[in-house]
Amino acid sequence: MRILVFGETGQVGRELARVGEGMAHVLEIHGRATADFTDPEGCAAQVAASDAGAVIIAAAYTAVDAAESDEETALAVNGTTPGAIARAAAQKGIPLVHISTDYVFDGTGTVPFAPDDPTGPLGAYGRTKLAGEEAIRAAGGPHAILRTSWVVSAHGKNFVKTMLRLGAEREKLTIVADQVGGPTCAADIARACLEIAAQLAADPAKSGRYHFSGAPDVSWASFARETFDQAGIACTVDDIPTSAYPTPAVRPLNSRMDNSRTEAVFGIPRPDWRAGLRDILAELGALKS
């Protein structure tokens, strides 16, 4: 199956390029040079010109704090352009898989959020991602909105790479412990997106909202401890509340997500992020021997 991918240099885009061939897919991948996400009609034209049988949007404005002062750009990238792409895909009758986020919820409580739970973003990033979801549903074509959380890989900027750097420099770190969610490895997201795209092409009735996050749910502090343990880094972690680490954008305390619909419909279980973490550390040459 030929799949058009937006987001060449992002964490998931890089993994899509790597795992796509192994899953017998041919990928047509676009990055900023050929698909500017501040130009919605230009990106829609890429879909119209392609002979791909499905589209995956792995591009996004993910600078959560920066979005608070640049919501216009974030909305173009996360909302307007995905909507234009969705309309172009719907006109061709091909399925679209779009990666979204737990930030569309308000982060209250301790119960995992289900795909149909009421949304309530706390900041600009979540608002713009929700706008993209709504535009995709309004386009009316076959689609899967795949919400994920806490994405990590051996590429780009992410929590694991930051912990490796800081853990090597310091004996002790203070890490937020009252935010809880499921770390999700980009390689697992990539495989899920490709599988969902193929199943949607065969059965468009599977369209809808889905969740995909790693198991088990943990705090950022516990995630850091596991990273240090697997990497053999002698850095201790002290728990702190979110209130002790203020940021421009409010972070959700509860990022837990109910993945049961994804497994029931597509047969894709929650991945164990600890196994994915080992793969990431091995790729970075940081796994404890």
Structure tokens at 30: 């676009």
* Three-class DSSP labels, 125-177: HHHHHHHHHHHHHHHCCCEEEEEECCEECCCCCCHHHHHHHHHHHCCEEEEEC
| Angle in degrees, 0-180, between the axes of helices 186-202 and 11-19, rounded to the nearest 10 | 60
Q: Which of 103, 125, 210, 245 is catalytic?
A: 125
Which residues, including other chains, have CB under 8 Å from residue 122's CB and lie 6 or more apart? Answer: 103, 106, 107, 249, 250, 251, 252
DSSP string covering 76-137: IIIIIHHHHHHHHHHHHT--EEEEEEGGGS---SSSPBPTTSPP--SSHHHHHHHHHHHHHH
90, 186, 202, 118 alpha-carbon torsion, rounded to 10°: -60
Is residue 245 part of the annotated active site? The answer reads no
45-77 b/e with 16+ CB inside 10 Å = b? ebbeebebbbbbbbbbbbebebbbeebebbbbb
Block residue for tokens 């979801």? 133
Determine the 3-state secondary structure of 43 from DSSP. Answer: helix
List, by residue number, the catalytic residues: 125
